[in-house]
Each structure stands twice: as structure tokens, then as C-alpha cells.
A and B are shown apart, each in its own frame.
Chain A
Amino acid sequence: DSGVTQTPKHLITATGQRVTLRCSPRSGDLSVYWYQQSLDQGLQFLIQYYNGEERAKGNILERFSAQQFPDLHSELNLSSLELGDSALYFCASSWDSWGSPLHFGNGTRLTVT
């Protein structure tokens, strides 16, 4: 499957902990986007990387960080977790850095207890 792959599917952790979410983009895509979807909220744009470099930043908390590696996979690191960080985190990829349709992964459901 050459689509967007996100791991893990589910993650349950305690407050104060740190987790890493992983995303492998669709084959040939250079951009990776991260979104957070909380209950009754839309998709909140967090951050975008293009070919290894940060391209755009949205409403990403300072406790969160991300990077894109030379093989183009990306990781989203969430630290000092709070109950309110419980959400579905989506990764999406596109072939260019602006305006192309996004291809989404299935998301990682994070539960902070």
C-alpha cells in the first residue's frame, strides 16, 4: 500500500508523558501535514513540512514538535501531555508545497488519562 501510513492507530498514556506519532507519506509526495481533531472540532492545522523543511505553522503548542526526515517520513512529538490533548491526529501528504489535494492517513487516536 503506497498510501499514507500512520502508526500507532491507538495510543493511551497518562498526563505528563511524552509520545511520538509517526507518518509515512504517499509514495512520491514531498509534503507532510499534521492536523488535530478534537471532539466537535474541525481539523486544526498544526504544521507542514516540505522536503525536510518546515513550510508552515498553525496552532501548534510549544509542547508539540515535529520533524521530517531524509526519507520523508515525519514524526509528531507531544510532551507534557494534558487531558485536553486527547484527540485524533491526522497526517496528510501532497506532492508539492502549496495547494495540491491532500492524501490522508487513518489517524492516530490519542487518549490521555
Chain B
Amino acid sequence: AQRVTQPEKLLSVFKGAPVELKCNYSYSGSPELFWYVQYSRQRLQLLLRHISRESIKGFTADLNKGETSFHLKKPFAQEEDSAMYYCALSGTASGTYKYIFGTGTRLKVLA
């Protein structure tokens, strides 16, 4: 079955420390992977997608097909990075298309 797993509900780091938000997926085809972010009192929005291979707000994510992971990383966390982060997958398997999300990880960056 298609599934996106974010093992951490909450991740707290100090400002300036590295951040890694974990995302693992199970999927039988070639999925598109995304990270979405929701800042306080704002709507959910796209942060980055794996096919773009770009860095947004200092965040990067590499798709590791061998480990079926798409972890989100930032070398130096900032207080404004505090938000809810969701990993998402889209694709078609067995003729069925899905666009599914993980349960999210709340990142708190402490001063």
C-alpha cells in the first residue's frame, strides 16, 4: 500500500543547529515527492519538490530510492523555520492515482 511515514511528531532544535525532518515512503512505482509547510495562521503551502532539486529557504531534500526516504534538511535552523512540515507523495500504482500526506512533524526552533 502507498504510505508516507513521518516518525517524529515534534522536533525541537536550537537556533543555528542542523535540522533533519524524516520522511519514509512505501510505493510500488515512481512517485513524485514533496514537502509542504504550514506556518502559524497560514495555509499549507509547497516548500519544495524532489524533481526541482532546488534549495528553498535553505532547505534541501534528496530522494533516496534505495532507502525510500525523502528527508528534509537545513544546516542552520532559524526561529522563523518553526512550523508544521508535511511530506507528501503523488503517483499512480495499480491504476490508482493518489496524492497522500504524512502525519506531519512540528518543528520548534528555540532561541
Contacts and interface: CB of A to CB of B under 8 A. Distances in A.
Contact of A41 (B32, B44, B49, B103): B103
Contact of A56 (B6, B88, B96, B102): B96
B76 interface: no
Contacts of B25: none
Interface string B50-81: 00000000000000000000000000000000
A4 B42 CA distance: 13
Interface in A38-96: 40-43, 45, 48, 55-56, 58, 90, 92
A45 B103 CA distance: 12
Determine the main DSSP class of B at the interface with A: strand
A27 interface: no
Interface in B26-41: 32, 34, 36
Contacts, number: 54
Contact of A98 (B49, B90, B101, B104): B90
Choose among B4, B86, B102, B104 the residue with the greatest number of A CB atoms under 10 Å from its CB: B104
Interface residues of A, number: 25
The 3 closest A-B pairs by CB, nearest first: A42-B103, A43-B101, A104-B44
Given A42-B103, A45-B98, 8 more contacts: A41-B103, A43-B101, A45-B101, A56-B97, A97-B97, A101-B46, A102-B44, A105-B43
Interface of A: 3-4, 33, 35, 40-43, 45, 48, 55-56, 58, 90, 92, 97-99, 101-107
30 contacts: A4-B43, A33-B99, A42-B6, A42-B86, A42-B102, A42-B104, A43-B86, A43-B100, A43-B101, A45-B98, A45-B99, A45-B101, A48-B97, A58-B98, A90-B44, A97-B97, A98-B90, A98-B97, A99-B90, A99-B91, A101-B46, A101-B49, A102-B36, A102-B44, A102-B88, A104-B43, A104-B45, A105-B43, A106-B43, A107-B43
